[in-house]
A and B are shown apart, each in its own frame.
Chain A
Amino acid sequence: MNKVLRKSDVFYDVYERRPGADKLTTTYCPGCGHGILHKLIAEALEDFGVQDRTIFISPVGCSVFAYYYFHTGNVQVAHGRAPAVGTGLKRANPNSIVISYQGDGDLAAIGGLEIINAANRGEGLTVFFVNNAIYGMTGGQMAPTTLIGQITMTTPLGRSVENEGYPIHMSEIIATLEAPVYVERVMLGDTKSIMHTRKAVRKALKIQIEKNGFSFIEVLSACPSGWKMTPIQGEKWVTDTMTKYFPLGVIKDISDTFEGRDFSRKNVEPSELHEILDIKETRIDAEKIAPFIMKSVAEEIKIAGFGGQGVLSLGTVLSEMGMRHNYEVSWLPSYGPEMRGGTANCSVKISSKKIGSPVVANPTILIAMNRPSLDKFETDVVSGGLIVYDSSLIDRAPTRTDVTVIPIPATKMADELGNTKIANMIIVGALIKHLGIMSQEIVLDSLGDVLKRKKLVPLNQKAILKGAEFIKNIK
Chain B
Amino acid sequence: MPKQFLKGNEAVVKGAILAGCKAYYGYPITPASEIAHAAALYFPRAGGTFIQAESEIAAINMVYGASSAGLRAMTASSGPGISLKQEGVSYCAGSELPCVIVDIMRGGPGLGSIAPEQSDYNQVVKGGGHGNYKNIVLAPNSVQEMCDLGILAFDLADKYRNPVFVLTDGFIGQMMEPVEFPEPIAQEKIPEKSWVVKGTIETSDNVITSIELDPDDLERHVNKLQKKYSIIEEQEVRVEEYHTDDAEIVLIGYGIVSRIIHSVIDELREEGVKAGMLRPITLFPFPKKKIAELTERVKFFLTLEMSNGQMVDDVRLVVEGKKPVYFYNRMGGNVPSMKEVHDKVMKIMRLS
> Which residue numbers of A lie inside 8 Å of B, CB to CB?
17, 19, 51-55, 58, 64-65, 67, 71-78, 81, 84-93, 95-98, 113-114, 116-117, 121, 265-268, 270-271, 273-274, 276-282, 316, 319-320, 323, 329-333, 335-337, 355-359, 361
The minimal Cβ–Cβ distance linking B302 to chain A, given in whole angstroms, is 16
Q: Using known A-B contacts A52-B201, A78-B87, A97-B199, determine if residue A323 contacts B70 with beta carbons closer than 8 Å.
A: no
Contacts of A85 in B (CB 8 A): 61-62, 64-65, 68
Separation of A67 and B211 alpha carbons in the complex (Å) = 11
> Of A86, A279, A319, which is within 8 A of B14 by CB?
A279
Bound-state CA distance A457–B178 (Å) is 22
A453 to chain B, nearest CB (A): 17
Taking CB atoms, residues of chain B closer than 8 Å to A265 are: 22, 44, 47-49
- In angstroms, Cα B334 to Cα A73, docked, is 50
Q: In the complex, how many angstroms separate the beta carbon of B213 from the nearest chain A beta carbon?
A: 7
Cα A416 to Cα B183 with chains together (Å): 47
Chain A's closest residue to B43 (CB) is A265
CA gap between A66 and B4 in the complex, in Å? 50
Q: Select one of A73, A274, A281 contacting B184, CB under 8 A.
A: A274
B68 touches A88 (CB 8 A): yes
Contact of A316 among B55, B176, B260 (CB under 8 A): B176
With A64-B211, A282-B1, A316-B5 already in contact, the answer to whether A88 and B174 are too (CB < 8 A) is no
Q: Report the nearest B residue to A67, measured CB to CB.
A: B207
Are B260 and A356 touching (Cβ within 8 A)?
A: yes
Given the known A-B contacts A319-B176, A331-B175, are A114 and B198 also in contact in the complex, defined by CB atoms under 8 Å? no
The docked-state distance in angstroms from the alpha carbon of A81 to that of B4 is 39
Q: Known pairs A331-B176, A333-B174, A357-B256; list 9 more (Cβ under 8 Å).
A: A19-B214, A55-B198, A75-B68, A85-B68, A113-B58, A114-B58, A276-B42, A332-B171, A335-B114
Contact of A114 among B46, B54, B66, B217 (CB under 8 A): B54
Chain A residue at minimum C-beta to C-beta distance from B205 = A71
Question: With A52-B201, A88-B25, A276-B46 in contact, is A78–B61 under 8 Å at CB?
Answer: yes
Contact string against A for B residues 143-173, beta-carbon threshold 8 Å, 1 for contact and 0 otherwise: 0000000000000000000000000001100
Instruction: Report whether B184 and A92 are in contact in the complex, using a CB–CB cutoff of 8 Å.
Output: no
Min Cβ gap B129→A in Å is 10
Neighbouring B residues of A359 by C-beta, 8 Å: 171, 260, 335, 337-338
Q: Are A332 and B65 neighbours in the complex by a CB distance under 8 Å? A: no
Q: Which residues of B have CB within 8 Å of A54?
A: 199, 204
- Given A274-B181, A323-B3, A337-B333, residue A356 in contact with residue B209 (CB < 8 A): no
Asked whether any CB of chain A lies closer than 8 Å to the CB of B191, the reply is: no
Interface string of B38-63 (1 = CB under 8 A from A): 00001011111101011101110111
Is there a chain A Cβ closer than 8 Å to B108's Cβ?
no
Q: Is the CB of A357 within 8 A of B260?
A: yes
Which residues from chain B contact A88 at a C-beta distance below 8 Å? 23, 25, 61-69, 73
The minimal Cβ–Cβ distance linking B307 to chain A, given in whole angstroms, is 15
Contacting residues, chain A, for B211 (C-beta < 8 A): 64-65, 76
List of B residues within 8 angstroms of A75 by Cβ: 65, 68, 197, 207-209
Using an 8 Å CB-CB cutoff, how does the interface string of B175-212 with A read, 1 for contact, 0 for none? Answer: 11110010111110000000001111101111111110
Most buried by B among A84, A88, A266, A280: A88
For A52, give its contact among B200, B262, B338, B339 (CB under 8 Å).
B200
Residues of A within 8 A of B199 (CB): 52-55, 73, 89, 93, 95-98
Our pick among B91, B115, B184 for the contact of A270 (Cβ within 8 Å) is B184
Chain A to chain B contacts (Cβ below 8 Å), 20 pairs:
A53-B200, A54-B204, A58-B209, A73-B206, A76-B211, A78-B87, A85-B65, A92-B70, A114-B54, A116-B54, A274-B183, A278-B4, A280-B4, A316-B5, A331-B177, A335-B115, A337-B334, A337-B335, A356-B266, A357-B262
Q: How large is the interface on B (under 10, 10 to 19, 20 to 34, 35 or more residues)?
A: 35 or more
Tell me, in angstroms, the Cα distance from A74 to B261 when the chains sit together. 50
Expressed in whole angstroms, the minimum distance between the Cβ of A23 and any Cβ of chain B is: 14
Query: In the complex, how many angstroms separate the beta carbon of B144 from the nearest chain A beta carbon?
Result: 11
Q: Which residues of B contact A52 (CB under 8 A)?
A: 199-201, 204
Q: Are A266 and B58 in contact (CB under 8 A)?
A: no
Cβ-defined contact, A336 with B198, below 8 A: no
B61 adjacent to A330 (CB under 8 Å): no
Residue among B2, B70, B197, B204 with the highest chain A CB neighbour number at 10 A? B197
| Interface of B, helix, strand, loop or mixed by DSSP | mixed
CB distance from A433 to the nearest CB of B (A): 22
Nearest CB to that of A354 among chain B residues? B262
Point out the residues of chain B lying under 8 angstroms from A266, CB to CB. 44-47
Q: How many whole Å from B44's CB to the nearest CB in chain A?
A: 7
Give Cα distance in the complex from A121 to B49, angstroms: 14
Contacts of A361 in B (CB 8 A): 337-339
User: Are B184 and A273 neighbours in the complex by a CB distance under 8 Å?
Assistant: yes
Residues on A with C-beta less than 8 A from B256 are 357-358
Of B3, B58, B334, the most chain A CB neighbours within 10 A belong to B58
Which of B1, B18, B64, B338 counts the most chain A CB atoms within 10 A?
B64
Q: Note all chain A residues with C-beta closer than 8 A to B1.
A: 281-282
- Interface check B31, CB cutoff 8 A: yes
Docked CA distance A87–B208 (Å): 16
Residues of A within 8 A of B178 (CB): 282, 323, 329
Indicate whether B113 reaches chain A with its CB closer than 8 angstroms: yes
Contact B61 A114 (CB under 8 A): yes
Q: Report if B263 contacts A (CB, 8 A).
A: yes
Q: How far is the CA of A421 from the CA of B203 in the complex (A)?
A: 59
What's the least CB distance linking A262 to chain B, in Å? Answer: 13
List of A residues within 8 angstroms of B58 by Cβ: 81, 84, 87, 113-114, 117
Q: Mark B53-97, 1 if CB is under 8 A from A, else 0.
A: 111011101111111111101000000000000011001000100
Interface centre among B183, B184, B263 (most CB of A within 10 A): B184
**A96–B198 CB distance below 8 A:** yes
Q: Which residue on A lies nearest to B45, using beta carbons?
A: A276
B227 interfacial by beta-carbon distance below 8 Å: no
Residue from the set B5, B44, B263 with the largest chain A CB neighbour count within 10 Å: B5
B59: chain A residues within 8 A (beta carbon): 84
B220-248 CB mask vs A (1 if < 8 Å, else 0) is: 00000000000000000000000000000
Contact B22–A330 (Cβ < 8 Å): no
List of A residues within 8 angstroms of B339 by Cβ: 361
Q: Which residues of chain A are near B68, meaning CB under 8 Å?
A: 75, 85, 88-89
User: Chain A nearest CB: distance from B345 CB in Å?
Assistant: 15
For the complex formed, measure the closest distance between the CB of A70 and the CB atoms of chain B, giving whole angstroms. Answer: 10
B259 within 8 A of A: yes
Q: Is the CB of B170 within 8 A of A335?
A: yes
Which residues of the partner chain B approach A281 to less than 8 Å between Cβ atoms?
1-2
Verify if B28 is at the interface (C-beta below 8 Å from A): no
Question: A423: shortest Cβ distance to chain B, in Å?
Answer: 22
Residue contact A357 to B338, C-beta cutoff 8 Å: yes
Determine whether the beta carbon of B259 is less than 8 Å from that of A358: yes
Say yes or no: A117-B54 contact (C-beta < 8 A), given A268-B46, A330-B177: yes
By beta carbon, the residue of chain A nearest B206 is A73
Whether A270 touches B207, Cβ cut-off 8 Å, given contacts A92-B70, A92-B198, A329-B5, is: no
